[in-house]
Amino acid sequence: MSTSVVAESVIRPIRDSDAEALGRVHAQAWHETYDHLISAAALENLSPRRMAELWNHLASRGEEYAQYAAVVDGEIVGFVGAGPARDDDAPRERELLFIYLLDAFHGTGLGQQLFDAALGDEAAYLWVAEDNPRAHRFYVRNGFALDGASQDQPFLGESIHEVRFVR
């Protein structure tokens, strides 16, 4: 990806009107991220329409949630969300809930910009697929470390083994 594309990018808060575009990007990013972890049959149930319905709910979350979109040439190419911890035994008060960037934009700095918009230098934790080395490297670069916790997370009728990082 050329730096001119990144120079034409903006990180902005997610809007209610973004649901359809976010659904499309979310579905594509899940295919790009989880194809090696989830069966093709499970991924077939994933549609941009279904993800847009999810975003109709997520986009209207309260102020305690920080949710941003990466926009390049007027198109959403990634998104991030952080909010209050969801776990009873949470090691921090804030949780990075999700961050996805289309593969075509990896290595452009947009992922870092999304991350910084949602969390900055805040203490936080997150769950990530154990078999996602690129994401692990990203989180370590941002000051996170594995804390030894793991879980099996239901995902499209199957399960993904996740590990927890804390900063």
Confidence tier at 24 by pLDDT (50, 70, 90): very high
Q: In terms of pLDDT, which residue wins out, 68 or 52?
A: 68
This prediction's pTM: 0.91
What is the DSSP secondary-structure string of the chain?
--HHHHHTEEEEE--GGGHHHHHHHHHHHHHHHHTTTS-HHHHHT--HHHHHHHHHHHTT--TT-EEEEEEETTEEEEEEEEEE--STT-SSSEEEEEEEE-GGGTTSSHHHHHHHHHTTT---EEEEETT-HHHHHHHHHTT-EEEEEEEEEEETTEEEEEEEEE-
Q: Is 102 exposed, middle or buried (0-12, 13-18, 19+ CB in 10 A)?
A: middle
pLDDT at 61: 77
Indicate the CATH number of 3-166 among 3.40.50.720, 3.30.1370.60, 3.40.630.30, 3.30.1700.10: 3.40.630.30
Q: Inform me whether the pLDDT recorded for 122 exceeds 90.
A: yes
pLDDT of 5 strictly over 50: no
**pLDDT score of 41 more than 90:** no
Amino acid 3: pLDDT: 44
> What pLDDT shows up at residue 6?
57
Mean of pLDDT over the chain:
91
Mean predicted confidence (pLDDT) in 104-115: 97
